[in-house]
Amino acid sequence: MSLYVEGLSKRAPNGGMTEFQEVMRQQLEKSMHKELDKLLSTGKGDAVQISRRDFEGFQKLFHRFLQVKGPSVDWAKIHRPPEDSIQPYEKIKAKGLPDNIADSLNKLVVVKLNGGLGTSMGCKGPKSLISVRNENTFLDLTVQQIEHLNKTYNADVPLVLMNSFNTDEDTKKILQKYTHHRVKIHTFNQSRYPRINKESLLPVAKDLGTTGENAEAWYPPGHGDIYNSFYNSGLLDQLIAEGKEYIFVSNIDNLGATVDLYILNHLMSQPNGKRCEFIMEVTDKTRADVKGGTLTQYDGKLRLLEIAQVPKAHVDEFKSVTKFKIFNTNNLWISLPAIKRLQEQNAMDMEIIVNPKTLDGGLNVVQLETAVGAAIKSFDNALGINVPRSRFLPVKTTSDLLLVMSNLYSLDAGSLTMSKKREFPTTPHVKLGSSFTKVHDYLTRFESIPDMLELDHLTVSGDVTFGKQVSLKGTVIIIANHGDRIDIPAGAVLENKIVSGNLRILDH
């Protein structure tokens, strides 16, 4: 990184800052303060007030960033969590449900992280507005799920969307269509932080605007910002005043993250002194999840360990499926009064994620971010629950989209469940090539979504199209060489086949 940070990272023998480093840090903070004031002077009205509050949060993060020395964990202190700190879901479910589960539902709020754009899938606007199943978007499915709960149990579970400055306007326009649904919907905005030049460590923004040369100057600082933004919005206090006690937080693109009544009941049935303030849903790692954050025991507390925090010498150990068997799904159940207490005590402790980016013009910048699950160590009686894989069904790519659009899943009241006709519960491994990356291109390449009930593995590469009612079974690999095109004919059944070149079909 910059010479400044290199200079700050060389510590005094006692691990603290040298006198010179302390002077350097103070100068950097002073320069940052001055630049942020300059930016505020370019704005008008409410925008200035909102930015001032955002900048306060940013300065706290920047202050901590300048004080961090090397990797934020001491590998020798990392231990596997004690047996009772991660409960199997089956044990939670075995308790059954009380008759008055509706009382518990009335104390719950569903929060969806809705700050992301659909750019990685070639779509404009919020990712939550991409159609994923029968013309239903991620947001449609979320509303249907909660409405179904509210009607079934005569309950009042509201939906809260954490938007970013990238998604807020488009999301609010679309919310009008849910006016007559039985779900109260609230929104609040994530902070907007300035990207900083990798060398000077000063903001690259010229003013508070988000267009023109400033379009790339800002970023939403990761979902760890939820605590600060939720508190600052006033919505946290409003929901507590309405008698709400817990939030269920998840990514809006995780179609497996539905309200689980057994986990909710477990939370609500704890004796007062032992009330669990934070539950993280984890699930067993497969080879595809080796980079996912894991739960560890550190200084006597449960702690989320992300790959970015791992010293280079231990990355392979971190990825091992034998030592770290589980990963964080980012489905979290968190106590509202606890969030309020920790915010007011300024005691929310989350590691800083330093995310380097290169802007379109080639400028190297840094984003300082935090992750929502990293705060687990700040909460009392935190717990992990090892849930079935079905609660982790994220749609990050068109390969994921193909799975959830197929007959592998059935849709009921906004929830997707694995079809009973599939003989084994694992999802197939699907890898679509670059011709399928954008949703529009992907849709034009399938006349209809193939039957995938008996599929184990699908790899498609190059210029390939699928006719109607194609059936894929076992392992299917389709590779069109550069300049060739492969059209899989309507009604074709491919079972354990390799298709290459100009539609030569071989047994696999």
Which amino acids are annotated catalytic? 396
Cα distance between residue 324 and residue 311, in whole Å: 16
Cα distance between residue 242 and residue 238, in whole Å: 6
Structure tokens at 141: 């499915």
CA 349 → CA 9, 56, 118, 164, 189, distances in Å? Answer: 21, 16, 30, 22, 21
C-alpha closest to that of 446 among 409, 400, 487, 474: 487
Q: First CA to last CA across the chain, in angstroms?
A: 49
CA 376 → CA 123, 223, 277, 364, 503, distances in Å? Answer: 34, 13, 9, 32, 53
Cβ atoms < 10 Å from Cβ of 326: 22
Q: What H or E segment, with its residue span, contains residue 197?
A: strand 196-197
Cα distance between residue 61 and residue 194, in whole Å: 12
Cα distance between residue 284 and residue 286, in whole Å: 7
Cα distance between residue 79 and residue 40, in whole Å: 46
Tell me the one-letter amino acid at 203: P
Q: Which single residue is written with the structure tokens 């679509």?
A: 432
Structure tokens at 120: 């990685």
Inter-residue contact 206 to 244 (CB < 8 Å): no
Q: At what angle do helices 45-67 and 19-40 cross, to 10 degrees?
A: 170
Q: Are strands 326-335 and 131-133 parallel, antiparallel or unpaired?
A: unpaired
Largest CA distance in the chain: 75
Q: Where are the alpha helices (DSSP H) in 41-183?
A: 45-67, 89-94, 101-105, 138-152, 168-175
Cα distance between residue 392 and residue 98, in whole Å: 26
C-alpha closest to that of 226 among 262, 259, 187: 187
CB contact burial 175-212 (16+ within 10 A = b; e otherwise): eeebeebbbebebbbbbbbbbbbbeebebbbeebbeee
Structure tokens at 362: 């080639």
